[in-house]
Amino acid sequence: MDAPSTPNNFISKLKAYDAHSSIADEFRVRTKNGALLSILTITSILYFVYLECKFNLFETVVEDRVHVNATVPTGLPVEFSVTFPNLACALIATDATDPAGQLQSLHLDRSHHVFKVRMKDGRGISSPKRHATGGTMLDEASFEDHAEVRVERNLQKMDGSFDDDYCGSCYGAEDN
């Protein structure tokens, strides 16, 4: 017949679960605390694995609505002041793109104000003109077309009379 379980018999079985001793088997001492720690660790690991599987693999949540937080500001305020000496205003344009490179429309923003001012010797020589986004010259052909229009306009102003040593402004920068 089997002897009834004694506390020593239970403790010796409990000590068999001690997985944290770090000495060779012949010198290994198994303790109650080590066994309890091992059992607690294995139980905790199994419990957390079960929870992760339950909440991430076995439950499907489908929501048919989107919540938009309307308290967040709708835009990013940006201010800039750039001066290009001796450069035609028509050669400068403002484009806004998103991180994917798609052009963004700034005309929907009520506070969009970009102005160009013709300057000479660091002072404005014309009134500010509101600038619409886009219109950037992307190739040399559009630049040449713009230059031809400027040359024709200058010829009309001067009635075609030039001195032999006349050298106009570079790219029409003086006129802008």
Handedness of CA 142, 144, 146, 148 (dihedral sign): negative
Ranges of each domain in the chain: 7-56, 89-175
**Residue 132 pLDDT greater than 70, yes or no:** no
> Which pair of tokens denotes residue 11?
């403790």
**Residue 48 pLDDT greater than 80, yes or no:** yes
pTM, entire model: 0.31
Nearest to 151 by CA among 130, 168, 138: 168
**Residue 161 pLDDT greater than 80, yes or no:** no
Q: Which residue has the higher pLDDT, 30 or 48?
A: 48
Residue 4: per-residue pLDDT? 54
Assign 1 a pLDDT band (cuts: 50, 70, 90). very low
116 backbone dihedrals φ, ψ, rounded to 5°: -110, 140
User: CA torsion angle for 176, 120, 131, 141 (degrees, to 10)?
Assistant: 40
Residue 126: per-residue pLDDT? 78
DSSP bridge pairs for 115: 130
